[in-house]
Amino acid sequence: MLSTGASGLFSEREEQCHQERRRRAKPLNDQEMHLQVISNCNSSIPVRIASSCGVVEADDPWWQVTIGLFPDNLSPCRGYKMERIPAMPRAAREMLIDRYCPEDLQAFVRTNRDDQDCLVRLYTGRRRLPSASQSRFQRFSLRNYPLHVDQMEELGLDTHAIARTLADALTHCYWIAGVDANDVEFVLAPQKTHSEHCENSPEVPRFRSDALGGEFVIWMLDYDCCREMSQDEAGVDQAVKAFYRNDPYYPRPYAHGHAEEDRSLWQTFRSRFLESSRHILKGRTALATILIEKIEEEGRRRCERGGLEGAD
Ligand SMILES: Nc1ncnc2c1ncn2[C@@H]1O[C@H](COP(=O)(O)OP(=O)(O)O)[C@@H](O)[C@H]1O
Ligand SMILES: [Mg+2]
């Protein structure tokens, strides 16, 4: 059994492979940035990162033994292999379907093979609008399920602890790895069960949700759009752009439909970002303050432009 991601292809084995077929998929950059983020992560990064298994060429014998595990239309190609992030377990998937899947789609989603590859995207920067549930054109997929901050609250997840973890992950990327985190993803998923794969991240915070049936960790993935970032104002501008270009994983200083709780979540993220930056940057913390103030400035600008545009 197997399934395809956007540029990612993965088998039911322990490895996941990204192919070069799509123009945007860049295995070498993906690998380089991934390794740059992983290096030194023992000390500071509070999220799990899949281990890198290297770039595989189209003529690599690996393909001969694994091609049968991928979709029929795939031929061997250059790709990037990595450890597979474990999918959310059945109990959690069932719960998401029961609570959030439109009724007429539930039977399909429950048995659809693709929906078993369930990773939950953590959108702490977006709250669902009340009208969202009434859309006539309903789509629902567990593949990359976007969990909005109001849903995290409903499920009993500690949104402030999540915000602190995201702040720590970003400071690691910016100040230790020197990478702008452009287009990276943060998903909630189980901690790997076999511990030999955990060497790059020994202890990471766990997030409990009784509604989801257990404890989970945050995984960070997808580095193929990351770029190196200099530790100066040009680098800060690059990071601010990447912050807003990304899906709304991080809390935002202003947004359409913001509740008082969102402002408080932003304050939690902000102060943890500065505290964690102080730890890493020692005497050069001015850069972190400039960065966070530029994020706030851009947020205000977007909000003033108004309406939905101000949302993200
Ligand atoms: N290591 C992994 N383990 C499990 N699923 C993965 C892994 N890497 C990516 N995916 C899944 O495949 C999708 C596409 O991979 P991604 O790295 O995001 O490529 P793209 O460049 O197309 O966005 C992701 O959104 C995620 O659902
Ligand atoms: Mg992606």
At residue 277, the pLDDT reads 96
Mean pLDDT across the chain, nearest whole number? 86
| 48 and 204 Cβ atoms separated by less than 8 Å | yes
At residue 70, the pLDDT reads 75
For 194-281, where are the E strands, in sequence order?
A: 207-209, 214-221
What are 150's two structure tokens? 């109001």
Q: Does residue 32 carry a pLDDT above 60? A: yes
Atom nearest to 222 CA in ligand 1:
17
Average pLDDT for 38-55: 82
Give the three-class secondary structure for 90. Answer: helix
At residue 24, the pLDDT reads 53
Average pLDDT for 116-121: 95
pLDDT digits (tens, 9 = 90+) for 195-210: 444 455 568 999 999 9
At residue 17, the pLDDT reads 63
Give the three-class secondary structure for 310. Answer: helix
Atom nearest to 87 CA in ligand 1:
4
Ligand 2 centroid to Cα of residue 203, in Å, is 25
- Using a 6 Å CB cutoff, which residues line ligand 1? 5-8, 10, 16, 25, 50, 82, 84-85, 119, 143-144, 185, 221-222, 224
Bigger pLDDT: 20 vs 260? 260
Q: Does residue 75 carry a pLDDT above 60? A: yes
At residue 45, the pLDDT reads 87
With a CB cutoff of 8 Å and minimum separation 6, the contacts of 228 are 36, 178, 179, 180
Atom nearest to 83 CA in ligand 1:
1
Rounded Cα distance, 185 and 291, in Å: 20
Q: Does residue 131 carry a pLDDT above 90? A: no
Q: pTM here?
A: 0.90
Nearest ligand (C-alpha, residue 6): 1
Residue nearest to atom 15 of ligand 1 (CA): 8
Rounded Cα distance, 311 and 303, in Å: 7
For 62, half-sphere exposure in the C-beta direction (CA atoms, 13 angstrom radius) is 17
Rounded Cα distance, 185 and 246, in Å: 8
Q: Does residue 267 carry a pLDDT above 80? A: yes
Q: Which stretches within 212-281 are classed as H helix?
A: 233-245, 260-281
Average pLDDT for 278-299: 94
Q: Does residue 3 carry a pLDDT above 50? A: no
Q: Does residue 243 carry a pLDDT above 60? A: yes
| 29 and 7 Cβ atoms separated by less than 8 Å | no
With a CB cutoff of 8 Å and minimum separation 6, the contacts of 140 are 100, 101, 102, 105, 109
At residue 18, the pLDDT reads 63
pLDDT digits (tens, 9 = 90+) for 81-105: 888 899 999 999 999 999 999 999 9
Least confident of 13-27, 63-77, 119-133: 13-27
Residue nearest to atom 20 of ligand 1 (CA): 7
What share of the chain in percent tops pLDDT 90?
Answer: 63
